[in-house]
Amino acid sequence: MATARCCPADCALRSDWEDELHAEKEMLQENRVREMDRLLKLLAHPLRLRIILMLLNRDHCVCEFFYVFEEPRSLISYNLKKLRDGGLIESYYRSNHRIYRLNDAMVPVIRKITGVVSG
């Protein structure tokens, strides 16, 4: 754990202190915080989180979600759309079936948030 420093008087220390604070300020930019907030809100809904956890293992057909969750189709479809519009998942067609998969760019983020190391 780093030691706490506050407004050091020594010029050399002050420069390091300012560099650290500048890096923290960059991390807290409004657009970055807003994006994290958006992702966390998408994952905060229990059904959406369960969908994401299923997709960590493999791609799934929409009918598999209907079978596993035993929820109204409209509710599952609504939450799949929210995840797709939010950029967390993608869909494609195989034959006449719509298949859902995680967005490749989101897999490391989701694994970090959920603590799931491998599928």
Within the chain, which residues score under 50 in pLDDT?
none
pLDDT score of 36: 81
pLDDT of residue 79: 96
Q: How far is CA 63 from CA 68, 108, 118, in A?
A: 9, 26, 24
48 neighbors 111 (Cβ within 8 angstroms): no
Does the global pTM surpass 0.75?
A: no
Pairing of strands 97-102, 89-94: antiparallel
| pLDDT given at position 77 | 94
pLDDT of residue 31: 77
Q: Provide the pLDDT for residue 22.
A: 78
> What is the structure's pLDDT at 90?
94
